Every structure is written in C-alpha cells, then in structure tokens.
Amino acid sequence: MEAKELILILDFGGQYNQLIARRVRECNVYSEVVPYNISIEKIKEKSPKGIIFTGGPASVYGENSPKCSDEIFNLGIPILGICYGMQLMAYTLGGKVASANTREYGETDVNIDNTSPLFQGFDSSNIFLMSHTDYVQEVPSGFKKIAYTSVCPNAGMENQEKKLYGIQFHPEVNNSKNGIQVIKNFLYKVCNCSGDWVMSSFVQDSIKKLKEKIGDKKTLCALSGGVDSSVAAVLLSKAIGKNLTCIFVDHGLLRKNEGDEVEEIFTKNYNLNFVRVNAKDRFLNKLSGVTDPEKKRKIIGEEFIRVFEEEARKIGTVDFLVQGTIYPDVIESGLGKSAVIKSHHNVGGLPEHVDFKEIVEPLRSLFKDEVRKTGLELGIPEKLVYRQPFPGPGLAIRIIGEITDDKLTILKEADSIFREEIANANLHKSINQYFAVLTNLKSVGVMGDERTYDYTIALRAVETTDFMTGVWSKIPYDVLERVSSRIVNEVKHVNRVVYDITSKPPATIEWE
C-alpha cells in the first residue's frame, strides 16, 4: 500500500529542515520539504494531513524575511511552527514578536503545560534545545501559552480549536530529549495520522509501479556498487528481472577485492543481466602523468561515460535508464540557494550517446537512511547496505600526485589493513568514513640494518552525519599502533604512517 498521508514541511531556511522531514518519516508518516512560498492551490492539491514551518535565520520584521500566504492559517490544516515558524505564526495572526538582548542557546529546561495535545504524557519540565534571539512576546488572540523558560515567556503556544501550534525550541535534534515525542504527538494527536509510511510498503508498492510502468521493456542501469545504485538495481530486478541490464564499469580504482565482491553479489543473488567491464588500463592510460585533482575527476567522469556508452551501444536501444537519485538531491529550498546537488558526487553525469527514452528514479523520494532500510528489506547484504561513502573517482583522489599501477597496489594493501583493524576493534559502525591515503612524500627510514627511502601512508578517519562537516575520529592509540606496524611490515615501499588529526572544516575529508 502506498503512503496516503503527507506532512508538508515549509522551508524557511533553517539548518534542520531535512532533519525535521526525516524525523516525521521515522514516525511513519511521509513528509516532503517544500519552499516556504508554495502556493495555496498547490497545498490544497497535495492535501496534507498537517504542515510544519521550519526555523530560519531571519527576523519576522526583516524587510525580506520569508513569509507564506496568510490564507494558510484558514485551510483547516493543522500547523506546527518551529522557532522562526512559531514567530511567523504569532506575527501574522496578531501577536507580538520582539528581539531579546541576548541569544538563548543550548539545552534548556522548558516548563510545559501537559494538558496540551502536543505535550500529552510529558512531565511538566523537559530539556529541549533552544536557539533564538527573537521570541514571541505576546501570543495572538485565541492562543494560549503552553511552554516557557526562565528567559522566554512564550516558548510554546496553541490554538486547539484551529489546530495551530508553535514551539520556540527544536524538537528534531537529539539534544531535545523527548523531541521526537512532540513530533509524534503533533502527527498522531493533532493531525490524526495513522502512520502508513513503512519501508515494506514502499518496497511492495515500488515493485508494483515499476512493473506497470516498464513491463517487458528494456532498462539499463549503471551500477557502481555503492548503496544507491545497488538498491535501485535490486528494486528493479525484483520488478522486471532480466529486462534489466546492469553495467558495472570497473575503473580499477576501487578498493582491494571490491570489484570481485560486487560481481559476486550481483551475479549470484539477483535475477538480472550483469555486465562487468574491466577498464583499469584504459583509465590508467588516460590518467598517466596527471596530478591535478580536478583534472583527475574530470578524466575519470568522462571516461566512465564513454565506457558505459560503448557497452550500452552493444545492447542497442533501451527504453529506460535507471538513476540512483535520492531525496536530498532534489529538494528545492526556494530561498535563492540552489538545490543541494553535489555535482562532483555523480560519477559522470548523464551519458549523451545512449539511446533511451526515459529516466527512472526509484529512490527519488527517499532519504539515505531510508535507502538503507529499503536495501535491508530487499535482502541486500548488510556489508553493502552500510558501506561507507566511496568517491566516484575512487582511489585516484587518494593517491596524491601521479597515479601508477604500483602506487595503486600499495594503497589498496595499506587501506585494506586499516579497514580490517578498524573492524577488528569494532569501530566500523562508529566511524563514518575511514581510509588510507598514499601521500607523495618519501622519507628516510631504517629496516633491519638497511636505510630505506619510501612512501608515507596517511590514515584518515572522520565522524560526521552529513559529510559537510566532521571531526577526526579519536581512534585508540593501540589500534593505530597495530595498523601502523602492520602496514610498514606488510606493505612494501611504505616506511612511515601518519594519522590525520584535522577536522572538516578547515580540511576536507578526502585529501584531493
């Protein structure tokens, strides 16, 4: 069964917009993030069970502050305004918003009125994250105050009859202890949702729809072995079987054994045509003598497309081309910023010379964690589903300077040891991305009685949720020691190992 219930999240520019959408979905209700200035007609068309206004950096009194149509409050659809969203609701409906002398920031003791549906089942005092300077000084007429802190007189308000609610704190973040329960109460006690968004339904529904749409027509998929393309491919294979052909371009820049592992999983477990192209020599040829990271990326992206096109031509005209696009790639903010598309994260854009009629994007509505859940639902091995991000250009951007076959071998071995020891220490789930880098630096060492002059391997490990910022992981010294000693003992031409202790920013996660 398809999810029928929808919560619309109006984006006013706050940093937690996507998080709010994910939290709503975690509560089994489908949600979409839309620009704050979405038209009333569009809202009516979408017929949501409820609307959430996000926070945002603006002040309601600001000249260009984002505002939605006043009419939204008369639609009879329940609304929850968070932070700026609450202030906007108060301001529009005749309340007073003022600027405080100091910002209230951090985990704060909030007193709440637990007779409000929003706080049903709560103690009268709770820790929530506050982060604001403006605040609602006077709630609009018809509203009642339902929360306050020692410095914020109106940290929550409601108009039960009109189903309008506002909270100054952020229920979506982990620092707000029972935050998720506030969201649940809004969904289930105010909007009367039943909770029809579950991954098993998504899978069944998608398979059915893909079957109807594609039938026995031919479909092509570029499989990288990453989570998104793998889940998309398996979903399609369940729907159309051998009418799906997956082309796996192995550019030779994958981690140790990875190409073989991908091949094994897809040829043994799924009903689809699998074509592996071993194109390492082609890529290394093109990359010969190239040292500039952006040039490497460009060459690999372009070559990838050429190889894919050549293989596709052998198959002939196809009707559909599969793309592993996911929801964060398509959200529009409406605030003048461009949508969150990390162009450099696509292996190489769209092929120009492949004959296809239409693109299918079966994961377009899913967040990354939902893609993983879908993968598990489809029976894809955990190892693949929880695979850490791996850049399209692969090890090419982890070898500083020129790439050669010998350097690739060194890096693959060192990286494999690092990954093995991280798994042995049971750290593989808590570190979000970790890998070895082959620096271009050679230094003097001593092995036995011999002087050596060999490469330095750098280890990189970061903890992050969004990969936009991150901190270096505090791997215990004994684990680092084991990794270092194994690498210099087992990998020829490496005599030194260093650990990268820089966070992002100012450093990036990758070295190139």
Q: Which residues bind ligand XMP (CB under 6 A)?
A: 297, 344-345, 389, 391-393, 433, 467, 504, 508-510
β-bridge partners, 136: 97
Distance between CA atoms of residues 443 and 11, nearest Å = 52
Q: Which of 27, 83, 152, 191 is catalytic?
A: 83
Q: What crossing angle do the helices spanning 368-377 and 227-240 adopt, rounded to 10°?
A: 40
In this complex, which beta carbon is closest to ligand XMP, that of residue 8 or of residue 233? 233
Inter-CA distances, 6 with 25, 30, 159, Å: 10, 5, 22
How near is the Cβ of 389 to ligand XMP at its closest, in Å? 4
As given in the structure block, the two tokens for residue 294 are 């952006």
In this complex, which beta carbon is closest to ligand XMP, that of residue 71 or of residue 294? 294
How near is the Cβ of 381 to ligand XMP at its closest, in Å? 21
In this complex, which beta carbon is closest to ligand XMP, that of residue 66 or of residue 259? 259
How near is the Cβ of 108 to ligand XMP at its closest, in Å? 32
Q: What crossing angle do the helices spanning 199-214 and 368-377 adopt, rounded to 10°?
A: 80
Q: What is the largest distance, in Å, between two alpha-carbon atoms of the chain?
A: 86
How near is the Cβ of 469 to ligand XMP at its closest, in Å? 9
- 170 included as an active-site residue: yes
How many helices, marked H, and strands, marked E, lie in the chain? 14, 18
- Assign residue 81 a region (left: φ > 0; alpha: ψ between -120 and 50; beta: otherwise): beta
In this complex, which beta carbon is closest to ligand XMP, that of residue 11 or of residue 512? 512
In this complex, which beta carbon is closest to ligand XMP, that of residue 1 or of residue 501? 501
Q: What crossing angle do the helices spanning 405-424 and 477-490 adopt, rounded to 10°?
A: 150
Q: Which of 170, 246, 258, 421 is catalytic?
A: 170
How near is the Cβ of 393 to ligand XMP at its closest, in Å? 5
Amino acid identity for residue 7 in this structure:
I
As given in the structure block, the two tokens for residue 139 are 């709630």
In this complex, which beta carbon is closest to ligand XMP, that of residue 148 or of residue 467? 467
Residue 288 burial (10 A CB sphere; 0-12, 13-18, 19+): exposed
CB 273 within 8 A of CB 242: yes
How near is the Cβ of 349 to ligand XMP at its closest, in Å? 12
CB 151 within 8 A of CB 100: yes
In this complex, which beta carbon is closest to ligand XMP, that of residue 28 or of residue 229? 229
Distance between CA atoms of residues 148 and 401, nearest Å = 58
- 83 included as an active-site residue: yes
Which among 55, 32, 26, 29 is positioned nearest to 45, based on CA atoms?
32
How near is the Cβ of 328 to ligand XMP at its closest, in Å? 13
How near is the Cβ of 257 to ligand XMP at its closest, in Å? 19
Positive or negative, the CA dihedral 403, 405, 406, 407 is: positive
Q: What residues contact residue 455 under an 8 Å CB cut-off, 6+ apart? A: 410, 438, 439, 441, 442, 493, 494, 495, 496
In this complex, which beta carbon is closest to ligand XMP, that of residue 288 or of residue 508? 508
As given in the structure block, the two tokens for residue 492 are 């020829």
Active site residues: 83, 170, 172
